[in-house]
Structure 1
Amino acid sequence: MDVLSAMQWWEEWQLRVLVLGSLFIQFFLAFAGRMRAMPKLRMFLWLGYIGSDAVAIYALATLFSRQKKLTVDAGSSSLEVIWAPVLLIHLGQNTMSAYSLEDNELWRRHVFTLMTQVTVALYVFCKWWSGGERLLASAVLLFIVGIIKFAQKPWILRRASFASQQAASSVSRPRKAGIVSALWRFCTTQYSEAEAAKNKGWRKGQKHESLQKFVEEASKSALAPEAEAADHKQMYDEMASAIGHTNYFVDVIAPYSAGLKELKAFMKLASLRGNLTIDWYIRTRFLALYANVRTFGSPLALLLHFFLLPSMALASLVLFARSHKDGYSVHDIRVTYIVFCWAAVQELIPWLFTPVLLFYQNLPKCMGTTNGGMVMVPQYNLLSYCARKKKPSILMKLATFSFLRELVGKYGCIEEVDSTHNIVWLVFSYVKLGWKQYIQGDAARYKRFNNFRGQMTLSLLGLMERIGWSVSTRFDESILMWHIATDLCFSYPNTSVTSPQAVSYAKMSKDISNYMMYLFFISPEMLIPGTRPALFSIASEHIELLLKDSTVPLDKEENLAREILKAKKRKDTPIDDACKLAEALMELEEGKRWALIQNMWVEMLCYSVSRCRGYLQAKSLGQGVGFSSWVWVMWSFMGMETWVERYHRLEEYPDLGGGGGSGGEGAHVMASNSMSQGGAAEGRGAEEGGDERASSYRSQGGADEGEEGRGAEEGGAERASVRGRRKGRQGGATTGGIRGRGAGGRGEGVGASGSRSQSRARDDDGSIEITIVR
Structure 2
Amino acid sequence: MVSSINPIPTSVKKLWERWNLRSFILLSLTLQTILILGAPFRKRAPNMAIIFIIWSSYLLADWAANFAIGLISNSQGNARGTGDNNEDLLAFWAPFLLLHLGGPDTITAFALEDNTLWLRHFLGLIFQVIAAIYVFIQSFPTNKLWPSTILLFLAGTIKYAERTRGLYLASLDNFKESMLKKPDPGPNYAKLMEEYSSKKEAKLPTHIELTAERSKESRTVTYVAEPGDMENDIAMVRHAYHFYKIFRGLIVDLIFSFHERFESRAFFQEREAKDAFRLIAIELNFVYEALFTKAVVVHSMRGCIFRAISFTAVSIALGFFYKLEKHDYHKFDVGITYTLLFGALGLDSIALFMLIFSDWTVAALTKSWQKSFVATILKKYLSFKRPSWSENTSCLDWIRQILFRRWYESISTFNLIDYSLKEREKMFPNIFDYPGIAYIKIIDLLGLKDLRDKMKYRHSTPLTRALWEFIFKELQSKSMLADDPETAKRICSARGDWVLQDSDWNSTEHSTFLRYIVEVDYDQSILLWHIATEFCYNMEWSDGDGDGCKISKALSDYMLYLLVMQPTLTSSVAGIGQIRFRDTCAEAKKFFSRRELGSGRSGGDEQQQEACQRILEVNTEVEPVAVKGDRSKSVLFDACILAKKLMDLKEKKWELMSKVWVELLSYTAGHCRANDHVQLLSKGGELVTFVWLLMAHFGIGEQFQINEGHARAKLIVGK
Counterpart secondary structure, 2:412 = strand
- Counterparts in 2 of 1:168 and 1:25: CA distance versus 1, 3 Å: same
The answer for the alignment partner of 1:464 in structure 2 is 510
How far off is 1:242 after superposition? 4.3
Q: Does 1:478 align with 2:540?
A: no
CA distance in 2, matches of 1:499, 1:104: 48
Q: Does 1:109 align with 2:120?
A: yes
Contact in 2 for aligned 1:453/1:607 (Cα 8 Å): yes
CA distance in 2, matches of 1:603, 1:258: 25
The answer for the alignment partner of 1:581 in structure 2 is 642
CA distance in 1, matches of 2:684, 2:560: 19
How far off is 1:347 after superposition? 3.2
Q: Does 1:90 align with 2:103?
A: no
CA distance in 2, matches of 1:217, 1:415: 50
How far off is 1:369 after superposition? 11
How far off is 1:272 after superposition? 1.3
How far off is 1:217 after superposition? 8.4
Report the RMSD for the aligned CA atoms in angstroms: 3.3
Q: How many residues align?
A: 601
Q: Deviations over 1:369-402 (max 9, x none)?
A: 9536462111111112112213899998756332
CA distance in 2, matches of 1:537, 1:296: 48
CA distance in 2, matches of 1:315, 1:152: 21
CA distance in 1, matches of 2:689, 2:610: 35
| 1:103-252 equivalent positions in 2, closer than 5 A | 103-129=114-140, 131-133=142-144, 135-172=145-182, 229=228, 236=236, 240-247=241-248, 248-252=250-254
Paired letter, 1:13? W
Q: Deviations over 1:225-280 (max 9, x none)?
A: 99864786698455643443331222222111012112222222222122111111
How far off is 1:127 after superposition? 1.4
The answer for the alignment partner of 2:204 in structure 1 is none
Q: Does 1:56 align with 2:65?
A: yes
Counterpart secondary structure, 1:309 = helix
The answer for the alignment partner of 2:660 in structure 1 is 600
Q: Deviations over 1:644-678 (max 9, x none)?
A: 45xx7689xxxxxxxxxxxxxxxxxxxxxxxxxxx
| 1:370-409 equivalent positions in 2, closer than 5 A | 371=387, 373=405, 375-390=409-424, 398=439, 400-402=442-444, 403-409=447-453
- Counterparts in 2 of 1:553 and 1:131: CA distance versus 1, 3 Å: farther
For 1:33, which of 21, 35, 39 is the aligned residue?
A: 39
Paired letter, 2:128? Q
How far off is 1:9 after superposition? 2.6
| 1:592-741 equivalent positions in 2, closer than 5 A | 592-642=652-702, 644-645=703-704
The answer for the alignment partner of 1:12 in structure 2 is 18
Contact in 2 for aligned 1:527/1:608 (Cα 8 Å): yes
CA distance in 2, matches of 1:426, 1:543: 32
How far off is 1:315 after superposition? 0.4
Paired letter, 1:10? W
**Which structure is larger by alpha-carbon Rg, 1 or 2?**
1
Contact in 2 for aligned 1:79/1:131 (Cα 8 Å): no
CA distance in 2, matches of 1:328, 1:395: 59
The answer for the alignment partner of 1:71 in structure 2 is 80
How far off is 1:500 after superposition? 3.9
CA distance in 2, matches of 1:91, 1:464: 61
CA distance in 2, matches of 1:364, 1:581: 51
Paired letter, 2:321? F
CA distance in 2, matches of 1:428, 1:453: 16
How far off is 1:317 after superposition? 0.6
For 1:489, which of 514, 536, 540 is the aligned residue?
A: 536
TM-score, structure 1 length as denominator? 0.72
Q: Does 1:538 align with 2:583?
A: yes
CA distance in 2, matches of 1:343, 1:10: 26
How far off is 1:630 after superposition? 1.1
How far off is 1:113 after superposition? 1.6
Contact in 2 for aligned 1:377/1:420 (Cα 8 Å): no
Counterpart secondary structure, 1:417 = strand
Q: Deviations over 1:693-734 (max 9, x none)?
A: xxxxxxxxxxxxxxxxxxxxxxxxxxxxxxxxxxxxxxxxxx
Specify every segment of 5 or more residues in structure 2 that has no aligned partner in the other structure, as ranges: 1-7, 186-210, 364-377, 389-404, 426-432, 626-633, 709-719
Paired letter, 1:52? A
Greater CA deviation, 109-118 or 90-99?
A: 109-118
Q: Deviations over 1:535-554 (max 9, x none)?
A: 21111112123334223258
Specify every segment of 5 or more residues in structure 1 that has no aligned partner in the other structure, as ranges: 176-206, 652-774
Counterpart secondary structure, 1:40 = helix
Identity of aligned residues (%): 22
For 2:471, which of 402, 422, 427 is the aligned residue?
A: 427
The answer for the alignment partner of 2:615 in structure 1 is 564
Paired letter, 1:455? D
Q: Deviations over 1:553-579 (max 9, x none)?
A: 587322321222234678124112111
CA distance in 1, matches of 2:386, 2:243: 23
How far off is 1:530 after superposition? 4.2
Q: Deviations over 1:396-429 (max 9, x none)?
A: 8756332334431244211111125433322210
- Counterparts in 2 of 1:285 and 1:539: CA distance versus 1, 3 Å: same
Q: Deviations over 1:119-141 (max 9, x none)?
A: 222212211446554x1100111
Paired letter, 2:541? S
Contact in 2 for aligned 1:242/1:258 (Cα 8 Å): no
The answer for the alignment partner of 2:711 in structure 1 is none
Contact in 1 for aligned 2:31/2:61 (Cα 8 Å): yes
CA distance in 2, matches of 1:512, 1:561: 19
Q: Deviations over 1:480-522 (max 9, x none)?
A: 1101111111122xx2234643xx2111111111111111011
How far off is 1:524 after superposition? 2.2
Paired letter, 2:552? S
Greater CA deviation, 224-233 or 250-259?
A: 224-233
The answer for the alignment partner of 2:494 in structure 1 is 452
The answer for the alignment partner of 2:54 in structure 1 is 45
Higher RCO (CA-CA < 8 Å; seq separation 6+): 2
How far off is 1:435 after superposition? 3.6
CA distance in 2, matches of 1:317, 1:60: 21
Paired letter, 2:423? K
Paired letter, 2:469? W
Contact in 2 for aligned 1:317/1:344 (Cα 8 Å): no
Counterpart secondary structure, 2:649 = coil
Counterpart secondary structure, 2:701 = coil
- Counterparts in 2 of 1:544 and 1:612: CA distance versus 1, 3 Å: same
CA distance in 1, matches of 2:18, 2:224: 73
Paired letter, 2:71? T
Contact in 1 for aligned 2:489/2:700 (Cα 8 Å): no
CA distance in 2, matches of 1:579, 1:217: 53
Counterpart secondary structure, 2:460 = strand
Contact in 1 for aligned 2:299/2:355 (Cα 8 Å): no
CA distance in 2, matches of 1:208, 1:151: 51
Paired letter, 1:344? L
The answer for the alignment partner of 1:308 in structure 2 is 309
Paired letter, 1:595? E
How far off is 1:368 after superposition? 11
Counterpart secondary structure, 1:497 = helix
Q: Deviations over 1:602-621 (max 9, x none)?
A: 11111111112222212222
